[in-house]
Chain A
Amino acid sequence: MSTYDAPLADMKFDMNELAGLKEILALPAFAEIDADTVDAVLEEASKFATEQIDPINIIGDRKNSPKWDNGVVTVSPEYKSVYNQFRDNGWHAMPGAPEYGGQGLPNLVNFAVNEMWRSASIAFALCPMLTMGAVHAIEHHASDELKRKYLPNMVAGIWSGTMNLTEPQAGSDLTAIKTKAKPNPNGDGTYLITGTKIFITWGEHDMAENIIHLVLARLPNSDPGLKGISLFLVPKFLVGDDGSLGARNDLICSAIEHKLGIKGSATAVMSYGDHDGAIGWLIGKEGNGVAYMFTMMNHARIHVGLEGISVAERAYQHSLAYARERIQGAIIGDAASKTTPKPILFHPDVRRLLMEQKARTEALRAVGYYAAGQMDIANFSTDPAAKKKAQAILELLTPIVKGWSTESSIELTSAGVQVHGGTGFIEETGAAQYYRDCRITAIYEGTTAIQANDYVGRKTAREVNKETGDVAFTARGLYKEILAFANGLAADAELGDIGKVLADATQALIDATEWVVGIYNTDPANAHAGSVPYLKLGGIVTGGWLLAKSAKIAQAKLGAGETGGYYKGKIATARYYAKHVLVQAQGLKATITEGGPAVFGLDEPLF
């Protein structure tokens, strides 16, 4: 068994050198925060993640998962105790707005801290993640009265929150939502909610005193489409004006799911209004429910992408620890290893698997942190042009961070299982849990196909500059910038080989983008048949760009006399990534531009 060790060196490098932490801290919004404080927060968070959260990950998965009994869900004592400490030590409140008890740290810092929670246990970290999602929705769209009543306790983690979108017949397509809301006949301005919601993460549990459900439902005589859906706040226990908990609302957790992974979290079937109707409060305006959900989409999707990054990192640490200690077989090309055995880390293919995990996880982190930094600039910059550009880049990268990071995490945790050989298939070693846990990340908060549709459509082919009429200007602009950097690096005596591969890969992305833009209006099905490969290409190239940039920075640091394996490692991972990952760009381009008809090559009856 390995112990989680937060990769603080890489996190800090990405924050400082790629994501612009220094510039972000210089913004007026963060006048109170300095780099030393950020370091201290990261250090202490890493301690808490390693010593408290990491050990309970296995408990939630294989020893004592949440238990359902007649509507009541009980978690293990260990989960409860860590949740209490997490809340009492102020970590739950961290990302909240200062007026509700949060710390007002940059999103980028929250992102790094959240990576630690999720590496340690994605199932545990989901509870605060969902609560903060609900907090954002209330904060941005609910009345002041609802904010005052609910936010302080939710930000603190005394109450938790959920998002209720999915119904058995309404998954990716929310227009199919049937849950009903009607004005309370007693005329007090509340609503009565009836219906069934499924896949409600942490929908019921005993870690928080109250659970605040945000529920999408239809009002009578409303539009049958998305515009007929409104958002309601439905608490498990009704809350008095003084904040005290009153009667139990008419809602119940009718079951929890048996899942492939994230078994430490309770995924609930929620039944609203089995008696008179669950009492709910309308958030914002009628018919705006889905729009409110979409305003939080960037945030939520980037954070699910972070789950992929986090689990990939944890799986790498796990397989590295095993590869360092497991001794098996003589090493090819090393005669001495026949008499003096060496661990499997020295076998060429184990080495490759570990490089695959390390280099690709660093690429995912680089893109994720870069996007998180853009979020701070978009929200808090004082320069309107910088704000606008950052927002556009963030929107372009959001489906990449979500879709590419999570899909990659499946491959990288699988590589982790492979490093373990046969024991990786046995649950006791723990490698399998990461593989199972990350699987959901490519599904919830919009499947990979939904992300790819967004990337190829709204973020690329359908993006039009209102002033100039240019199409796909954000994507084209970014890829041009990457190409210019790659061409510059290609002339570098030491890193030129990386630069050349990056330039070729970027050109492939540019070619694929032009093809997509060209065909989108006439043959959209063809463009979408290659949308997931296109998303992957976008991820591979942006990841390769930031790793190559990291190598260049590391080279400068080493040249300036800084010592240490970290910077040498940065160059080594960038080179591995170029030779093993970036080179796939040519194949992906061919798939995207030529593979569409083959997807439709088999007539439906022949399947």
Chain B
Amino acid sequence: MKILVPVKRVVDPNVKVRVKADGSGVDLTSVKMSMNPFDEIAVEEAVRLKEAGKATEIVVVSAGIAAAQDALRTALAMGADRAILVDTDAEVQPLAVAKILKALVDKEQPKLVIAGKQAIDDDSNQTGQMLAALLGWPQATFISKLVPGADDITITREIDGGLEQLAVKLPAVVTVDLRLNEPRYATLPNIMKAKKKPLETVKPADLGVDVTPRLTILKVAEPPTRSAGVIVSDVAQLVDKLKNVAKVI
């Protein structure tokens, strides 16, 4: 079974981001970047499937600027076999990424796509679902367990009411949640070997995909700072405040 894992290069989760003064976005200059943590979990799961003899090849894909190669190299160092960079300076939005992935799935014919459930920069949580729709494949989102079968997989997904178990026919798209696994550290010998693994670069146009953004960002702003609370003396005052100050009842 071939597995395709999309990965995204995002602001490192430990970085405290700042909004640009003009409100056009987050200031990324000199900011540490890393692989999206959910994608690390996806790569880890694929590598574990391969180590268990359930997968034959792991292809990792990223769409973005040339520096997105760093995320691909990290995935190769973790154990992926080869990488494809879809090189574009344009801002790639979820639908464009889904179309790019659709084109690559058509070409690569994997049986399973394991994606992070969302990227921690824009938190869109759309790409996996859009990809499944474009492919006409079954999808299972937010999975916290994956057990491969003969021509299906059994997954556990986290839902509001608890855990849901589903059998999903292959080929399929799954998106992973935090509790699926704990990603490994790449070992030094594997980091050194990663350089020798194939990394292919293509342009969106080569795949016949138009990545022109469909969404316009109007403004990016810091969340409003919370003001201090007040202690109310009785229920009547609480109701009054909720009615007249917070205006929620």
Contact = CB atoms under 8 A, between A and B. Distances in A.
A49 to B, nearest CB: 11
B152 to A, nearest CB: 35
A89 B194 contact: no
Contacts of A566: 30
A37 B195 contact: yes
Contact of A89 (B29, B188, B192): B188
B186 A103 contact: no
B185 A85 contact: yes
Given A44-B186, A103-B188, A563 B29 contact: yes
Contacts of A8: 32
B161 interface: no
Contacts of B188: 41, 44, 89-91, 93-94, 103
Contacts of B34: 43
Q: How large is the interface on B (under 10, 10 to 19, 20 to 34, 35 or more residues)?
A: 20 to 34
Interface in B172-223: 185-192, 194-195
B244 interface: no
Contacts of B185: 44, 47-48, 52, 85, 89
Interface in A77-96: 85, 88-91, 93-94
A3 interface: yes
Given A9-B30, A36-B73, A564-B29, A44 B191 contact: yes
Interface in B65-85: 69-70, 73-74, 77
A37 B186 CA distance: 13
A274 interface: no
A470 interface: no
Given A48-B185, A88-B187, A103 B30 contact: no
A3 B77 contact: no
Given A40-B77, A564-B29, A565-B29, A90 B187 contact: yes
Interface residues of A, number: 27
B14 interface: yes
A39 interface: yes
A34 interface: yes
A5 interface: yes
Most chain A beta carbons < 10 A, residue from B14, B30, B187: B30
Given A40-B70, A40-B194, A90 B30 contact: no
B29 A3 contact: no
A41 B187 CA distance: 9
Interface in A10-54: 34, 36-37, 39-41, 43-44, 47-48, 52
A93 B187 CA distance: 11
A8 B29 CA distance: 14
B29 A39 contact: no
Contacts of B73: 36, 40
B30 A40 contact: no
A485 B29 CA distance: 30
A37 B29 contact: no
A8 B31 CA distance: 11
A203 B38 CA distance: 43
A39 B69 CA distance: 12
Contact of A3 (B14, B32, B189): B14
Contacts of B187: 88-90
A208 B32 CA distance: 35
Given A40-B70, A40-B77, A90-B189, 19 more contacts: A3-B14, A9-B30, A34-B195, A37-B191, A37-B192, A40-B73, A40-B74, A40-B191, A43-B74, A44-B186, A48-B185, A89-B185, A89-B188, A90-B188, A91-B188, A93-B188, A103-B189, A564-B29, A565-B29
